[in-house]
Amino acid sequence: MFKVAVIGGSGMLGRALVDELTRQAGWQVVATAFSRPSPQTVALDIRDAVAVERFIEQSAPHAVVIAAAERRPDVCEHDPALARALNVDAVRTIAAAANRRGAWTLSISTDYVFDGSHPPYRHDSTPAPLNAYGRSKLEGERALADATDCGCVLRLPLLYGPIVGWSESAVTSLVPAIAASAAPNGQPATMDAWAIRYPTFTPDVAFVIRQMLERHARGETITGIVQWSGDEPMSKYEIAVRLAEALRLDAHLTPQHTPTDATPRPHNCHLASSRLETLGIGRRTPFDTAIRQVLDAFPWHGDAS
């Protein structure tokens, strides 16, 4: 029996990963949750080092996937202590506990470790984060490397997938403004057309992680840094246009061609996925196909409030 612990199993990526792994014969999955506990998860605050160590000791996994994090750049900017606790200190604690058990640790990181000025970025490109979120995730990468020799970082870009609310992804968070702009007498919605993003479907990421876990299970462990990304470049404005089409809304959208975010964000952090692709790992669902799956699965009756 191959046992995987998913830390943050109630989040958007965590749920997709648990769904993917529980379909594998001969695998056992134990998932933790903090903000959305359920009977299927173990309650765990990853800031509590004693609780983390107890969980790893009792669950005794062969592999640990850290999908829990503070991923909101604005929150990280205004609360760097929280960002450090979740994105750095917790990673170190989890990885060290897993290392003592001889378990492989996979930690999720971000394209925001780069400044976005010279894409595409390889796994061995020099990081240069622009904001507190990127800095905390880069420190988390280093904390993992310091805590275990049997660990791997998986950098990912903007994620979207099955949701429990519009705000769960920066992709679907655009829907309320799109819907409002399409309402009678609705005001045009201004959308960023400056930053280039590569929306990546969480079920595809879960498939990639499962392939990585399979390699570990057969003794072909991947360590160091790897990256995975969708391959369709889009600004938020372009994402909004495609969302409106999928929702069949006559939205009134205005592109904003200069950066307006209070928190600095990179222009284009396209991640090269070549290290995983060379290993035969990967899957990409076209955005228009995937976003329709997301929207079809989420209750939508024309009211996005």
Q: What average pLDDT score do residues 10-26 get?
A: 94
Position 41 confidence tier, pLDDT thresholds 50, 70, 90:
confident
7 and 127: one domain?
yes
| Whether the predicted pLDDT of 18 surpasses 90 | yes
170 and 149: one domain?
no
188 and 39: one domain?
no
**The residue to which tokens 């396209």 are assigned:** 270
Q: What is the pLDDT of residue 72?
A: 87
Range in 184-193, 202-211, 260-269 with the lowest mean pLDDT: 260-269
170 and 215: one domain?
no
113 and 171: one domain?
no
Structural contact between residues 222 and 215, judged by C-beta atoms closer than 8 angstroms: yes
Q: Which residue has the higher pLDDT, 300 or 18?
A: 18
**The residue to which tokens 């372009």 are assigned:** 238
For 221-258, the pLDDT digits (tens) are: 999 999 999 999 999 999 999 999 999 999 999 999 99
What value does the mean pLDDT of the chain take?
A: 93
| Whether the predicted pLDDT of 304 surpasses 60 | no
Closest CA to 202 of 83, 81, 67: 67
Q: What average pLDDT score do residues 207-218 get?
A: 97
| Whether the predicted pLDDT of 143 surpasses 90 | yes
Q: Is residue 206 part of a domain?
A: yes
Q: What is the pLDDT of residue 39?
A: 79
Q: What is the pLDDT of residue 205?
A: 98
Q: What is the pLDDT of residue 135?
A: 95
| Whether the predicted pLDDT of 204 surpasses 90 | yes
SS3 145: helix
Q: What is the CATH number of the domain that holds 12?
A: 3.40.50.720
119 and 177: one domain?
no
56 and 88: one domain?
yes
Structural domains in the chain (count): 2
51 and 144: one domain?
yes
| Whether the predicted pLDDT of 305 surpasses 60 | no
124 and 175: one domain?
no
Instruction: Specify the pTM.
Output: 0.94
Q: What is the CATH number of the domain that holds 239?
A: 3.90.25
Angle at the Cα of 165 from the Cα atoms of 160 and 168, rounded to 5 degrees? 40
Q: What is the pLDDT of residue 298?
A: 86
Q: Residue 176 is part of which domain span? A: 166-195+235-269+288-297
| Whether the predicted pLDDT of 286 surpasses 90 | yes
Count of CA atoms in the C-beta half-sphere (13 A) of 203:
14
33 and 142: one domain?
yes
For 231-240, the pLDDT digits (tens) are: 999 999 999 9
| Whether the predicted pLDDT of 300 surpasses 70 | no
113 and 251: one domain?
no
SS3 252: coil
How far is residue 113's CA from residue 129's CA, in Å, rounded to a whole number? Answer: 4
| Whether the predicted pLDDT of 35 surpasses 80 | no
**For the chain, how many helices (H) and strands (E)?**
11, 11
Q: Is residue 283 part of a domain?
A: no
State the amino acid at position 90 in one-letter form: A
Alpha helices in the chain (DSSP H): 12-21, 49-59, 73-78, 80-84, 90-101, 132-147, 175-182, 202-217, 236-247, 274-278, 287-297
Q: What is the pLDDT of residue 263?
A: 82
